[in-house]
Amino acid sequence: MTAADRLTRLFALVPYLQNNQGIPAKEVAAEFGVSVREILKDISTLWVTGIGDLPGELIDFDYDALEDEGLIFIKDAEFLPRPLRLSRNEGVALTIGLRTLRETADAAEYAVIDSALAKLEEAVGDASRAPVDVHMEKIDPTIMSTVRQALADAQRLDIDYTTQSRDERAHRLVDPLRLFTSEGRHYLEAWCLREQDVRIFRLDRMLGASLTGEPAEIREAEPRDLAADLFASPDAPFGVFALDRGAHWMIEYYHATDVVPSSDGSGLMRAKIVGADSAWLVRFALRHADTVSVVEPEQLAKDVAAAARAALSAYDGTIPRVREVPPATAKE
């Protein structure tokens, strides 16, 4: 437990004890989810809190009742008669957090979350009606349930997974580590037996998931920092592409970075997209040639043009005209 957690409990403890005079220390501990020993330490801290040189000058307790009967009576604490109220920003943050939690929860958990959300919205008032919509990618509920069960039971998973960066679909045996959400998507962090390393799998790219019945192995895997860019790799090959209006969806789908809109009103967006290798980037550009153009690197543009010429020459020998990006767009 952190110092911030304890400070929050100390602020909440004073009004709680004022409204429950003579409550047994065991009940207080159960209410706050800590041990009786922790509650007694809190009382000792509150007892010496104040501006004077002696204990009990700001907040006092009936120590005879506490020692003889285990009952808590607080005195001289009328300066803090009510629990702390949430600020507008705190209320909005908690409301959005609960809405997000509901989007990632199982149906069996909805009742508990909805109850907490209703109480919070009532307590916060108008602030809870902030115009914020939480959107999460929809996941097959059977897949989500299976992944959750694998985590709860520490079982190995067999997932049918599509890897967009390699145009690959394959079964992966994985030992699940944790579920998390990032930028509106659900992810599973797991030890991949094929790669013999920790990998991150998007649940919306799982076509199926089944329990193998085998126990997941416990490994000394270094957890990833979820606050960092999970998908950044300085050595990964990439291309900078100009995307027409009809290709803007690729920015989210391929986790594009360095997105820059065109200033000429054309609707073009320039974006950096990382691929598994140069061959994948060439195939990506050819597959979406009607809405995507290579901006840089120059070698990728040459490779795409060469691949297009080779493909067309296999039919009738005609050399295709490769679409070029206007210089002004490329420099934006």
Q: At a CB cut-off of 8 Å and minimum separation 6, what does 259 contact?
A: 251, 269, 270, 271, 272
Using the predicted structure, report yes or no on whether residue 38 has a pLDDT greater than 80.
Answer: yes
DSSP state of 302: H
Q: Can you give the pLDDT at residue 215?
A: 93
Q: pLDDT at position 162, please?
A: 85
pLDDT at 232 over 60: no
Written as six digits, the tokens of 135 are: 């959107």
Q: Is the pLDDT of residue 330 over 50?
A: no
Q: How much is the pLDDT for 210?
A: 94
pLDDT of the residue at 226: 57
pTM of the full structure = 0.44
What's the Cα-to-Cα distance from 199 to each of 73, 216, 226, rounded to whole Å? Answer: 54, 15, 13
Please report the pLDDT score of residue 135 as a whole number.
61
Contact 288, 273 (CB under 8 A): no
Other Cβ atoms less than 10 A from the Cβ of 323: the count is 16
pLDDT at residue 328, as a whole number:
45
**Which pLDDT belongs to residue 225?**
60
Fold of domain 141-215:
SH3 type barrels. (2.30.30)
- Max CA separation in the chain (angstroms): 100
User: In 273-307, which positions are buried (b, 16+ CB within 10 angstroms) versus exposed (e)?
Assistant: bbbeeeebbbbbbeebeebbbbbeeeebbebbbee
The three-state secondary structure class of 115 is helix
Of the segments 50-64, 225-239, 261-275, which one has the largest average pLDDT value?
Answer: 261-275
The pLDDT of residue 236 is: 73
Average pLDDT over residues 174-186: 83
Q: Where in the chain is the domain with CATH 2.30.30?
A: 141-215
What confidence score (pLDDT) does residue 120 get? 79
| First-to-last C-alpha distance (Å) of the chain | 50
Q: 3-75 — its CATH code?
A: 1.10.10
**pLDDT, tens digit (0-9, with 9 covering 90-100), for 71-129:** 998 876 555 555 556 667 777 778 877 887 777 677 777 888 888 888 877 777 766 56
3 state SS of 100: helix
Contact assessment for residue 147 and residue 155, using Cβ atoms and an 8 Å cutoff:
no
Q: Is residue 318 scored above 60 in pLDDT?
A: no
pLDDT confidence of residue 119? 80
CATH 1.10.10 domain span(s) along the chain = 3-75
